[in-house]
Structures are given as structure tokens and as C-alpha cells.
Structure 1
Amino acid sequence: MTALLELRNVVAGYGAARILHDLNLSIGEGERVSVIGRNGVGKTTIVNTLLGTSRFMGGEVLYRGRALPKIAGHTAATCGIAVVPQGRKILPNLTVAENLRLGAALGRKGRWTIDEIYRLFPILHERRNSSGTALSGGQQQMIAIGRALMANPDLLILDEPCEGLAPVIVDEISAIFKNLAATGVGILLIEQHLNLVREITDRFYVISKGSVVRSGHVASVSQHDLQTSIMQ
């Protein structure tokens, strides 16, 4: 079966510095996969490589079996890849509704409309005319997720979505991601919150020094085992 997204022997970094070293990973249609590892090992560089904000130095990035002609943010979005970025990146000069509509800029058709986002996150409808950055951290994360869904992606990449959020908000976000899985959208989760990894993903990759050092099915390993792999 052809993978939805596949990175083959990817080398990437910033300037002359190489961060990813012959990195290999794949995710299938509708699959839920996590990438875990300590800070600074290259997890976010995977996202930046797909968005063209890191320096691509070698290897291949394939989407539905075809090499992306140029790795750039608009290329990924056109192919059906949407990213919920680390830190959320909500634009302060736009309202909640305007931030959400940014996700629909390419006009990809699908189930996700602004009304569907409001059904998923009722609080965003209530605060739709407020500045996006006037909301709480958890609500801003809802904006970031909603904005990505407005692109009607086939693959949703989540870069540390629970960073800085209270445990009760993490539980809410986890429930949302579980519901998203039922819609058929693929999920690539980059996260250190191992409870979230275990709850919403099926397979995992452990990254160390820019390379995959372990992979497998989440159900086949204990949380302690995962934590030990990260620390090695």
C-alpha cells in the first residue's frame, strides 16, 4: 500500500548545520502516528522541512507516492497537509473568525466549514468577533486546530499541541483528536506528552540526534518503556 506521506533518508537543517540525518518515517491514509523525543533532537525540523522553512539537503519527501516537486508551505497545503504549529501562531490583529478563515485560503473542498468548526468548538462561535489572542491558551489552541481543519486536509500535523496547557485542557484536546480520527483524516503528532501519544496514536517513532532510533506500535510497549527510549 502506498503511504500517504513518506520521508526517505531525509537530511535537513539550518545554514550549514545538519539536524536531520537520513531520517525515515511514513504515515498511511487515515493513520495516527506520533514522533517523540527530547527537546532539540529534530522533531520540529521535520515539520519545517515539509513547510520549506528548514534547509533541505538530501533524501526524498513523497506524498501519495510522488516526490514533492518543491518543499514549501503552499506545496504541502495544496497536497492536503495542514499544520497546527508549535506555539499556535494566532494573528493578534485578526478576530477569531478571521483567523479561522485563513485556513480556507486555498479553497480545498471538504466537510470542514466555519460552521462545522463552531460545532466542534462552541466557545469559538461565542468569541468569534474577539481578537484571537484575547482568548485563553486552550481556546487559542482550538483556533489553531480549527484553522488547520478549514484547509480540509488529508493529513493533520500537530506540533506539540499540548505545550503549556493545563491537564484538564489536555484532556479536552485529546477527546477532540480521538473524534477527528473517526473522520478519516491522518494525524502526525509531534509530542512529549506520552499520555496523549498513547491515547490518540497507533504507531510511534522515537527520534534522537535527528534520526529514528526506535519505532513500533504504541499498544505493544509500556509508557515506562517509551520514556526510557526517549531518554537514551
Structure 2
Amino acid sequence: NQRRLHVIDATCPLVIKVHNEVNRDYTQGYELILIGHAGHPEVIGTLGQVPDKFHLVSSVEDVEKLKVDNTVNLSYVTQTTLSVDECRDIVGALHQRFPNIKGPHQEDICYATQNRQNAVKELSRLVDVILVIGSPNSSNSNRLRELGEQCGIPSYLIDSAADIDPVWLEGAKAVGIAAGASAPEILVTEVVAFLRAAEPFEVEELTVIEEDVEFLLPKELVQIESSKKSMAGVPR
């Protein structure tokens, strides 16, 4: 306020959905379980929504060791950038151990994360190497690399084209490129340009699903833009 700066809350609407679920269930007296990875910024933020009665599990083994006080009023939410397959196993273990547990009406995992994981599975059938564009601390990017490896394809996580080791491409007839949910398009373009220059690769786009989901702009940004338009019409 002192510096007259505008603060815009650009939290992903899907993460806000999880926060709302947590606050609603906590208010209704539920003991809560979060499926996620310890230390991830999203997990830290979700755990911070309520003061207590919140457990974090990251594996089926964690579920087996979990001690809860209330097996009747128990609910779970998930980190939005998990591996779909990994999450399914943990949810199954929770339902097996706690038959009355309540989950979200719709899956919490981000549609973009799920679509990219499905794309990597399809990509792994067609290529010899997979390059995943994303930051080392990006949960969904790491899951893409792990998924490629699980499909039997050497997979590497890169921040940009500068991280590509030519040794990875030796003997490869086809190279797959995937990107984390937050990786900008310019990084993909640069990696494609690098491969075109370094090897005689032809570029083919693999479309697994068309993404047509749109979200409203943050209300703070809408208010700022509205104020600008109003001021533009005021004579000076």
C-alpha cells in the first residue's frame, strides 16, 4: 500500500479448488489427508490452509503407516501435479484401509498434467529418446521424465536447449519433446530449432488431445484494466 503497488493473486484456479475443498471439509469436522510430495510449494500452501488434523502421504507405504483419530469423518485431496497412475494407487490404498473416506467430486489433478502424461505414454511408442522441458523443481515435469523411463525410453529433463547433451541423441532415429505444464512455448521452439540444426530431424506434431479449457482473469487484473479504460476516457 505504501508503494502503491497492485497485488494480483494469480493462483491456479485448480489449486484454489483444492484449498476450498480443504477449508470446507475442515469446517465440517473432517480429518484431512493430502496426497502429495513433501516440500513442494503447492503442498506447503495446501497444508497451510488449516491449523491441524491434516496428514501428508506420498506413497502406498505412507497410507499403510498412517494413524488417524477419526476414521468416520475422513477426507482426502491431492496435489494437482502428481502422476495420475501414482495417485490412483494411493487413492486405492486409502479406500481399502478407510472404506468411509470421502474424496473430491472431480479429480484434483490438473487437466494439463494429465494430458501431458497421456501424451508421453503415446510418444514413448514412437521415439528412441524423450526430452522433457521443465525446471528441476517442477513436480509435473519430473513426473513426465519418470513416466518416459517407466515406458522404457531414455528420458532427460532440460531447462532449455542449452542443456541437451549430443550424446543422448546418438543413434536416435526419432526424438520426442514434451514440456511441463508451465514451460513457455518459446522454450519448445528453441529445442526444436536446436534439433533441426544439430541433426537432420523432421518435425512432426503429435496431438493426443486438444486443450480448450479457459479460466477467467484474476479479479484484481480485471479491476486494474477496467480502471485504465475508465481513466482513458477522462479528459485531462
Higher relative contact order (Cα pairs below 8 Å, separated by 6+ residues):
1
Q: One fold, TM greater than 0.5?
A: no
Q: Calculate the TM-score normalised by the size of structure 1.
A: 0.25
Q: Calculate the TM-score normalised by the size of structure 2.
A: 0.25
- Structure with greater proportional strand content: 1
- Structure with greater proportional helix content: 2
- Please identify the structure whose Cα radius of gyration is greater: 2
